[in-house]
Each structure stands twice: as structure tokens, then as C-alpha cells.
């Protein structure tokens, strides 16, 4: 199935389904990596590989975490998060216009909007992307491309803009049977300000002291799988042990 005909986001499936793509591959590390992922993740969703897979996967996984209420009718811990992110989205259009974007560009598509949100954070807090700028300082090339592979500058900017952490597991064939898969964890540097708080806005100075997130906010993050040129969504296991059913399906 080609990228243009694949679903934007697939149904949930076992990580072991990835094995079919690597049958006969000369690099056996891919199979080892899939087995390693299966011990930590109970499932995944494939995301259409059209160049916007990171943003689409990020938004889908974020919405999945924000929408459900707490189990057993308890306190909805996501209510404050939903309100915080909703307020960020509502105020972001005026912020985007203030840094030079047009109404037409902002209203085009949701994925474009989220990409611009990351770009705005990069422009407003240049220290986030200064290590990734080209020699001429063209952050637009690094933060704003659509239909192209997303990398650390965009990830860091979007994480900071929405105050949502992301963990990325790498399945690139580099880790052998006795080696851990590489991963990249990006966490926001400043705890979200409570809704209605009179706390002053954070400083955008590169010398600002990095504050620690609360344990609850640290736990609020999404996990994506990176294979060369592509991102999918991962779902961590509550227990680190692979199920017998998954092992049998391999």
C-alpha cells in the first residue's frame, strides 16, 4: 500500500507486525530491535508516511491522552491539561500573526498550524534551536519545512510550545541483540503555569534556570517510534513483560 492510500493513522496493532517489513533484510538487528520494543510496548499505530508523520502522530497521541477521563469516576486529571492546551491554541493565532505569519497560512490545515506553532516557539525562544541553525541563521529551513522529515529542532520547539514531553525510540538497525535501543527524550524546560495563575511569564533568556516538572507532568508525555525517515505511535506496557500472546504471534 502506497503512502497516499494508507490511512492517516491505523488501528492499534502489535509491534511484532513490523517484522513482516524486515523479512530477508540482511541486517538482523531490525528483528532484534522489534523484539526489544515488544517487551516495552504493548502496541503501536502506523502513521501515513507522507512527510508529516511526526506532527500527525504527535497530535493524535496527544488527543488520545487528553480526551479520556480518569477511570472509576475519579478526578479528571486531564481537565486542567486540556484547558491549558486549549488556551495555548486559542492565543497562538495572535502570537503567530505578531511574528509575521498570514491568516491564510494559519487557517490552511491542522498539521500546518502545529508546525507553525513549533516555528513560533523557535522564533520566540531562539536558544531552543540556535544549535541547529544554518551558518546564515536560517531557522526557517530547520523548523518550518512541511512534507519533510522532522528532527530535533522541531521536536524541541513543539514540546516547549505545548509543554508536553515526547520520547522517541529508534529502530534503525544499529543496536545488536545485547544492546539497548537508542532513544531520545525531550521534556519541556518550564512547568506549565496553572490556569488562572497570576504567575509572571517565563523568561526567554538562555541563562534562565531550568525548572523541574512535577511528577504528574513528567508522566504526561507521548512516545513515538522512529525508523529512518518515518514516525509511528507507540503505547508503553503497564508491565515490562511481553505477553504470551505477543510472543506466540512472532
- What is the model's pLDDT at position 231? 94
Which helix (H) or strand (E) segment holds residue 88: the answer is helix 78-98
Q: What share of the chain is helix, strand, coil (3-state, %, to 5)?
A: 45, 15, 45
Task: Report CA Rg, the chain.
Answer: 19
Long-range Cβ contacts of 97-103 (<8 Å, 24+ apart) = 99/123, 99/124
pLDDT of 72 above 70: no
Q: At what angle do helices 53-66 and 152-162 cross, to 10 degrees?
A: 30
Confidence of residue 212 (pLDDT cuts 50, 70, 90): very low
**Residue that has been written with the C-alpha cell 497570576 in this structure:** 198
> What's residue 97's pLDDT?
79
Which residues, other chains included, contact 78 with Cβ-Cβ below 8 Å and sequence gap of 6+? Answer: 65, 66, 67, 68, 69, 70
% of the chain exceeding 70 in pLDDT: 59
pLDDT bucket at 74, cuts 50 / 70 / 90: low
Q: Residue 188 has what pLDDT?
A: 85
pLDDT at 172 over 70: yes
Q: Which domains does the chain have, with CATH numbers?
A: 15-249 (3.90.70.80)
119/114 Cα distance (integer angstroms): 9
**Which residue from 168, 162, 145, 159 is spatially nearest to 223, judged by alpha carbons?**
168
Confidence of residue 153 (pLDDT cuts 50, 70, 90): confident
Model confidence at 29, pLDDT cuts 50, 70, 90, reads very high
Confidence of residue 150 (pLDDT cuts 50, 70, 90): low
Of 33-47, 64-78, 147-161, 205-219, least confident by mean pLDDT is 205-219
Residue 248 grid coordinates: 506466540
Distance (Å, rounded) from C-alpha 137 to C-alpha 48?
A: 31
Q: What pLDDT does residue 247 have?
A: 46
Listed range (33-37, 40-44, 106-110, 156-160) with the worst mean pLDDT: 106-110
- Taking only the tens place, the pLDDT of each residue in 101-119 is 777 766 655 555 566 556 5
Cell 508522566 sits on residue: 219
Residue 118 sits at the vertex; the CA angle it makes with 192 and 115, to the nearest 5 degrees, is 135
Q: Could you tell me which residue, 111 or 94, shows the higher pLDDT?
A: 94
Residues 197-226, mean pLDDT to the nearest whole number: 51
Q: How many residues does the chain have?
A: 250
The three-state secondary structure class of 90 is helix
| Burial 7-35, CB ≥16 within 10 A → b, else e | eebeeeebbbebbeebeeeeeebbbbbbb
pLDDT for res 152: 76
For the chain, how far is it from start to end, CA to CA, in angstroms? Answer: 22
Grid cell for residue 182: 537508542
Burial tier of 54 (Cβ tally within 10 Å: 0-12, 13-18, 19+): buried
pTM for the model stands at: 0.70
Q: Mean pLDDT, to the nearest integer, of 33-51?
A: 94
Query: Which of the given ranges, 28-32, 66-70, 125-129, 149-153, has the highest pLDDT on average?
Result: 28-32
What whole-number distance in Å separates Cα of residue 230 and Cα of residue 148?
Answer: 10
Amino acid at each position: 500500500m502506497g503512502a497516499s492510500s494508507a490511512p492517516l493513522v491505523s488501528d492499534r496493532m502489535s509491534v511484532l507486525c513490523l517484522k513482516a517489513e524486515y523479512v530477508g533484510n540482511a541486517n538482523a538487528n531490525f528483528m532484534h530491535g522489534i523484539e526489544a520494543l515488544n517487551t516495552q510496548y504493548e502496541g503501536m499505530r502506523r502513521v501515513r508516511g507522507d512527510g508529516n508523520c511526526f506532527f500527525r502522530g504527535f497530535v493524535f497521541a496527544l488527543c488520545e491522552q487528553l480526551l479520556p477521563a480518569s477511570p472509576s469516576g475519579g478526578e479528571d486529571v486531564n481537565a486542567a491539561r486540556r484547558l491549558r492546551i486549549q488556551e495555548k491554541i486559542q492565543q497562538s493565532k495572535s502570537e503567530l500573526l505578531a511574528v509575521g505569519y498570514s491568516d491564510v497560512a494559519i487557517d490552511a490545515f491542522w498539521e500546518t498550524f502545529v508546525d507553525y506553532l513549533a516555528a513560533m516557539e523557535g522564533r520566540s525562544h531562539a536558544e531552543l534551536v540556535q544549535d541547529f541553525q544554518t551558518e546564515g541563521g536560517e531557522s526557517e529551513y530547520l523548523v518550518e519545512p512541511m512534507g519533510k522529515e522532522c528532527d530535533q529542532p522541531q521536536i524541541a520547539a513543539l514540546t516547549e510550545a505545548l509543554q508536553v514531553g515526547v520520547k522517541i525510540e529508534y529502530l534503525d538497525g544499529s543496536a545488536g541483540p545485547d544492546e539497548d535501543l537508542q532513544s531520545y527524550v525531550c521534556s519541556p524546560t518550564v512547568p506549565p503555569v496553572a490556569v488562572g495563575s497570576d504567575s509572571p511569564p517565563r523568561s526567554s533568556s538562555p541563562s534562565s534556570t531550568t525548572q523541574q516538572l512535577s511528577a504528574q507532568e513528567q508522566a504526561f508525555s507521548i512516545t513515538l517510534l522512529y525508523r529512518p525517515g518515518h514516525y509511528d505511535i507507540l503505547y508503553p506496557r503497564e508491565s515490562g513483560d511481553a505477553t504470551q500472546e505477543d510472543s506466540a504471534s512472532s
